[in-house]
Structures are given as structure tokens and as C-alpha cells.
Amino acid sequence: MAKYAVLIYMPAPGDVADTPPEEIEAHLRYGEQVEQLGGKILEAQALQATTTATSIRGDLVTDGPFTESKEVLGGFFVLEARDLDHAVAIAKLNPATWRGGVEVRPLLYPSAE
């Protein structure tokens, strides 16, 4: 099985604490849905708000995100799927699509197991 990152984008400012309770419940059910589709979540993490970010561009280090945007990266999943189509089918079920979006990317250097 191939490994994919599913990047979770949410409306700025992107604080997970602002997530509605029904969306949190849906995220908890998401793991079951992934297994039902034959995939496997290897890791999942929510990120702290963008106000906690430190951005580095060349030698310049600044507090906060590098640019302002309408959506921010709020967390990620690493999952195993048969192929990209399978990963996309799994990602489409993610509740982050309700208010924001998800991006699916194959891992460049998936670790050997």
C-alpha cells in the first residue's frame, strides 16, 4: 500500500478550538470510515493556531505565518491507500471539506515497514 499525506485546510485564523462540536464528532468517526474503505490512518495531528507559527525565509525569521490567507493548514493525516484514487476517495469523506478543504499528496520518501 502507498502512503499519502492528507493536509487539512480550514478557514483562517485556523484555530482548532473554533471547530464546531459536530465536526469534531465527525472527525472521530472518520477513522472508522477509513478502515471500512480498506485504508489505514498511520498518524493524525491537529496543529496549533497560526499565531504560534515561526516562519523562516532565507535568513529572515518572523513570528506568525509568512503570508495571510483565507485558509490555513490546520492538521494532517498520514494514511495508507492502494493508490491515489483510493486516497482521494478516503480524503473526500474528511469533515474538513465542510468548511475548508483537504489536499492529498503522496509521500516522497515513505518509510519502510
Q: pLDDT tens, 2-44?
A: 999 999 888 776 566 677 888 888 988 999 999 999 999 999 9
Q: Does an H or E element contain 73, and which? A: strand 71-81
pLDDT digits (tens, 9 = 90+) for 62-76: 887 666 667 788 889
Q: Determine the pLDDT at residue 113.
A: 56
Q: Determine the pLDDT at residue 7.
A: 93
pLDDT digits (tens, 9 = 90+) for 70-113: 778 888 999 999 999 999 999 999 988 888 889 999 998 877 65
Rounded to an integer, what distance in angstroms lies between the CA atom of residue 64 and that of residue 55? 6
Task: Give the range of the structural domain holding residue 82, as residue numbers without chain letter.
Answer: 2-106
Q: Determine the pLDDT at residue 33.
A: 95
Grid look-up 499565531 returns: 51
> Is 111 part of any domain?
no
Closest by CA to 91, choosing from 37, 52, 14, is: 37
Closest by CA to 98, choosing from 17, 25, 32, 47, is: 25
> Is 23 part of any domain?
yes
CATH code of residue 35: 3.30.70.1060
Domain count, the chain: 1
